[in-house]
Amino acid sequence: MSKFTLKELGSDADLPDDYQKYLGPGGGLLNLENHLPFSPDSIKSSNPGMWRYADMLPLNEPSGALHLGEGWTPLVTLQGQFSGLRMKADFLMPSGSYKDRGASVLLNRCRELGIREVIQDSSGNAGASVAAYAASTGIAASIFLPENTSPAKVAQVKAYGATLRTIPGDRKATSEATLEAAKNTFYASHIYNPWFFEGIRTIAYEIWEQNGEKSPDEVVIPAGNGSLLIGLFLGFKAIEKAGCGKLPRLIAVQAENCAPLALPANLETKPTMAEGIAIAHPPRGRQIIETVKESDGFITTVNENEILSAWKSISLSGWLIEPTSAAAIAAASRLLAEGRIKPGAITVATGHGLKTLLK
């Protein structure tokens, strides 16, 4: 049996294994069914990082993957003001964000397909991550960025040898230019390409192992386009299907200033410190809301004061993370105080604070 089936959302037809467009033939989002079960017996703990799960990733030859040893980040217990919470320190990654898990699997998939060149658009971590793994897999990358992107992020993309395509105008102009270019070049997108989500799955597998081979009750995460949320969901669903644990409640956190998932009626968005989740129109919005519901979780918001205050406190305890990650800690801390989540809840720290400090 094949390792996976690729489908367009809302259609039963299987797409060819080597399908390379970013949307289905009917213009719908793509989803992948990974037929490789979660299987504790096939964990290769001598492999570096998340590649201990190589045999569960939908690649033709995972043992031949070119990677940077990303993953197997610590799950730590927070102290002081945040005691009662645990944090998966996923900002400790080669390019400084959890997105490396997705980019690593996606670029290795591209390599297996014989793709020589990819494009990606991002004003933040996804661009840096795709540029890093394009470098490690020997694929040329062009990263489309809005003209006002912070110099530190531009410098990181450049350092990996990617071609910078600076687009005048706002974020929307950059998206439009990318979609136009995607007609001719492979779009290595963290939003559209399901292989990205397959890499994110490994956070769930690691949490399961580090939590004593059990699923936790609750996971609290920042959410914008939902790649972290959907990836975690797929991972924990596989764990549940294998009879190894349950699906935890997934609690998605948005900044009050930009909360299309939590406050859909409030279409006006304002800038937020939590730039990693400042997504006004997430293409997978409906899928995100359904995923949260299926896990019996919910979506909540935090304001700018709460984000800044949590960021300052967590920095004073020695953890330098992005304000976007502090947003999830701020929410988890409030929910714990309100008794809406239990002690032991896990937050995922998604991005390294050095990136935003240099702004």
Q: By the criterion CB under 6 A, which residues form the site for ligand PLP?
A: 97, 99, 124-125, 222-229, 276-277, 279, 322, 324-325, 350-351
Cβ nearer to ligand PLP, comparing 62 with 94: 94
Angle CA(11)–CA(38)–CA(104) in degrees, nearest 5? 75
Cβ nearer to ligand PLP, comparing 189 with 225: 225
Question: What's the rounded Cα separation, in Å, for the pair 85 and 347?
Answer: 7
Cβ nearer to ligand PLP, comparing 245 with 351: 351
Cα→Cα distances 82→310, 314, 319, 334, 352, Å: 9, 8, 12, 10, 19
Paired strand residues for 77:
86
Nearest distance from C-beta of residue 318 to ligand PLP, angstroms: 19
For 86-118, letters b (16+ CB in 10 Å) and e give: bbbbbbbbbbbbbbbbbbbbbbbbbbbeebeeb
**Which residue's CB atom is positioned nearest to ligand PLP?**
351
Nearest distance from C-beta of residue 1 to ligand PLP, angstroms: 30
Nearest distance from C-beta of residue 80 to ligand PLP, angstroms: 23
Cβ nearer to ligand PLP, comparing 47 with 178: 178
Specify the amino acid at residue 241: K
Cβ nearer to ligand PLP, comparing 47 with 120: 120
Name the token pair of 167.
Answer: 């687009």
Cα→Cα distances 248→114, 171, 294, Å: 38, 34, 10
Nearest distance from C-beta of residue 114 to ligand PLP, angstroms: 28
Nearest distance from C-beta of residue 351 to ligand PLP, angstroms: 3
Distance of CA 215 to the CA centre of its chain: 19
Nearest distance from C-beta of residue 272 to ligand PLP, angstroms: 12
Question: What's the rounded Cα separation, in Å, for the pair 247 and 349?
Answer: 20
Cβ nearer to ligand PLP, comparing 145 with 277: 277
